[in-house]
Amino acid sequence: MTAGENRLIFESETNQNITKFQKTTSYFCFFVLGASILLPWNSLLVSSNYFGSRLKGSQFEFTYINWLTLVFTFFNVSFITKATFNQDSRPTRTILLSLTSIVLLSMTLLISTKIEDLKAKTFFSFLIIITFLEAISSAYLQNSVIAISSWFGPSCLQAILSGQGAIGAIVSLLQLLSSLREFKVDEETNSMISSIPVRTNQDKIRNSSYTFYLTVTIFTIFALLCFFTLSNLPFYKFVIKFNKKADNDEGQLISENDDALSRAPLLRQSLEADLTTTLLKPTNLRLVERKIRSLGLGVFYVFFITLSVFPSITGSIISSSSNSSLKGNSNLWDNWTNPLIFIPIHFVCFNFGDWFGRVLPLLLPTISNLLISNHKTLINLSFSRTCFIPLFLLCNVQNNSLVIFNSDLIYFIFLSTFSITNGYFSTLLMIAGVTHSKLEPREVDIAATCMSLYLTFGLAMGSFVSFAVKALTKLL
């Protein structure tokens, strides 16, 4: 074998190793970024004990969750829509600013746990402002991350979805563990008003929330570091330059004189093959939306039903054998029926069920492929989730005199089915939307954006309707 042949083999192996390493690193970074997109939303949802204790005795004591979900989803969908139609020419800068904003907002909530003298109305105003700012930051972060990931191919888009599913489960589990740790106390401090799960010793709730928001802040800083790592990869720089070149020169490939990856011809060739189809041809947003509209309405309805009862109703359901006092240890088995523990358990159950539902298409490929190809059945399954509204209303909701399902087992069966179908049906609908037979290859990314918009609209409308569903509990 000649020296020249040896050199070519070495160069080929080196380029392949660079590709594998950098693509793996990129996948992980996008996974973390996907988690950071939903981190503000999930951190607000699982902080009901802390927010409720701060708003005790105020007019917002029983409706603050509805207000938070409404404000967050309304402004989130508004700014996602705005960002979608006003394409961002500097997504890297937007991601950095959005992540920095989320870090600062998390630190603000962290500091609030150490402020004792804060009136309920003042805290509610503060909370609405924080929610508004987090909605904007999350919207621009989501739009820019998805825009960049689409340039890297479907694997990085899948990493974002996986991260979004994982963060809800992890955040709710951290909050549960934090609550268990903080309430390892003696009997005289283990009391709370029996009918309101959030009314307990405020110092202990603030300590638990401090630990939680400290973890959230650290994770968001870690997400920033991951993005710095990603943006400094030659792989990332090549893709960004390729995209800009395609936009400016009608898809002309990067010249061999470019600095980024100039010594990685195999990596260059692989990336150019993957990216050319996506970037060369313009497409019409409205035309693509019409093609996947029915599937978009399906994913809209999945999240519309979910937000209409979660967490405003499900977070108000207490154990049928509720014990108003915590025992002098942090044993989950001894204390799980206490509302202060029962409600965090419900968040863990929902989020892990939702995450499991998102990976079910991989575990049940045959059934999933049949459903994906049968759009009518998939849409009907989406509408079948309407039954969960009356089912949860007839569980052991606080201050509800009409209780049909007075069993914790039945409630958790409902909740598990509710969460798994949320993750499973929404994932199938999203896949069906981007694999629609009427779509051209260059329209797939636009279709994914449209499906994401339908999803966000479902969240917003569901949070709005949750006010009416919550009002029904007073009539039962």
CB atoms inside a 10 Å sphere around CB 14 = 14
Between residues 34 and 445, which one has the greater pLDDT? 34
With CA atoms as reference, report the closest residue to 153 among 239, 225, 83.
239
| Cβ 433 vs Cβ 295: under 8 Å | yes
Res. 188 pLDDT band, cuts 50 70 90: very low
Tell me: the pLDDT tens digits for 200-240?
Answer: 456 777 777 888 889 889 999 999 999 999 888 887 777 66
H or E element, residue 246: helix 234-248
Spatial neighbors of 157 by CB under 8 A, at least 6 apart, are 146, 149, 150, 448
* 457 Cβ contact partners less than 8 Å away, ≥ 6 residues apart: 77, 300
pLDDT at 416 over 90: yes
Average pLDDT over residues 29-47: 86
The whole-number pLDDT of residue 363 equals 86
C-alpha torsion angle, residues 175, 181, 182, 186 (rounded to 10): 150
CATH 3.40.50.970 fits 1-232, yes or no: no
Taking only the tens place, the pLDDT of each residue in 323-347 is 555 555 555 566 677 777 888 899 9
Band the pLDDT of 302: cuts 50, 70, 90.
Answer: very high
From CA 177, how far away is CA 168, in angstroms rounded?
14
Residue 37 clears pLDDT 70, i.e. is over it? yes
Question: Mind giving me the DSSP string for 67-111?
Answer: HHHHHHHHHHHHHHHHHHHS--S-HHHHHHHHHHHHHHHHHHHHH
Average pLDDT over residues 101-123: 89
Mean pLDDT of 152-156: 66
pLDDT confidence of 63, banded at 50, 70, 90? confident
Query: What average pLDDT does the chain have?
Result: 78
Residue 367 has pLDDT above 80, yes or no: yes
Q: How is the chain split into domains, by residue range?
A: 1-232, 285-476
Lowest-confidence pick of 18-32, 108-122, 218-232, 233-247: 233-247
Q: How confident is the model at residue 244 (pLDDT cuts 50, 70, 90)?
A: low
Residue 107's pLDDT is: 94
306: pLDDT strictly greater than 70: yes
**Predicted confidence band at 452 (pLDDT cuts at 50, 70, 90)?**
confident
pLDDT score recorded for residue 441: 66
